[in-house]
Amino acid sequence: MKRRIKLSSVDREALTRALEIARAESPADREALDQLEKAEGWLVAAQQGVYDCQRSLTAPRLWQPLPMDINPAEVASIIARGPDNLGGEYAAARLLKKMLRAGLSRFEPEPLRRLAEIKRRAPEAATA
């Protein structure tokens, strides 16, 4: 029996975009994600899409977590512990904190681009 996971509309939208972006990378990626979705379900395939997108944009080392791997409820405690050097959890938590403050999902496939876009639009919104 599969466990049902409740997703916010922001999470669902980010997961959907991640799957679309990852599928567009190459025919092989599309085929692999289609097979994964068929075998494991939409959510597993979408999470793989997020993993592929975040890994290519944030370029962590293989053992380092991505923002999607950090539990939002643990962000403050991870940051409070301070830098963990090569562990990567601190850096991922700091990025996730910025994402969440900006109203983004931890599953955002393009976190750096979206944060820059939001920052660029902030002065425009203040003057409007």
pLDDT tens digit sequence for 12-46: 999 999 999 999 999 999 999 999 999 999 999 99
Going by C-beta distance under 8 Å and a sequence separation of 6 or more, which residues neighbour residue 79?
90, 93, 94, 97
Spatial separation of the C-alpha atoms in residues 97 and 110, rounded to whole Å: 15
CB 66 within 8 A of CB 54: yes
Q: Mean pLDDT for each consecutive 10-residue tract of the chain (128 residues)?
A: 76 97 95 97 97 87 91 97 91 96 97 94 67
pLDDT of residue 127: 59
pLDDT of residue 66: 95
Spatial separation of the C-alpha atoms in residues 40 and 62, rounded to whole Å: 24
CB 109 within 8 A of CB 18: yes
pLDDT of residue 1: 46
Q: What are the sequence ranges of the domains in the chain?
A: 9-109
Q: How far from chain centre, in Å, is Cα 31?
A: 22
